[in-house]
Structure 1
């Protein structure tokens, strides 16, 4: 099993790689298509994008061997952090009628309600499937004892 400090060091390394990749990609695109200077807000957007990507990756694709409890906790923490980074990016940099500052609060509330409902349904469905699997295992063991 991997220790928490090592797990976080892997996360920081992956975050820096994602930031570096996005920065190089943005530099190439800007060099090919623009003659303007690079604004500081672009680097903040790149960092927020890389942070959201890395958090979603650690929430959904677990490549490190950790305990079941740590895996569950990291799933929720990283998924919430990814949502925070996306919402922060929308709040700071999205323009237009779709992302009016007054629309952002109901948007966040809808995201929270939907995610809570999905997690609750996943939890209930997981319990039901575990119960069915245990019943089938009991039937299998009783059938094997005869």
Structure 2
């Protein structure tokens, strides 16, 4: 037997208050990302916001990470593709460093946009677990 999609997805429209709450949570997720704050800090921050401003605010580390991953990252990635399509030359930079039992491997790109100058962006950041700092 097939389960109707309506059992999984709500067709309910959001009211203005719910839309504003979602926007507020998105703004906090953006703030965390833009200023390189720890996503873990949102567990505490969301409790503070809930206590001081909005009782329904619930944007802890899990929701913040999902907003960044599923909303901001695809948008930023698309904007980067558009910028890179304007470039004639792109430099790729990579390095590896160990942090405890993990090897961190950032892949960065540097490129020049006329009238804007040189830009550097992180293209990818891989973490390999179980690595040793000495061999």
Please report the TM-score for the alignment, with normalisation by the length of structure 2: 0.31
Q: By percentage of residues, which structure has more strand?
A: 2
> Higher relative contact order by CA 8 Å / sep ≥ 6: 1 or 2?
1
Q: Which structure has the bigger radius of gyration?
A: 1
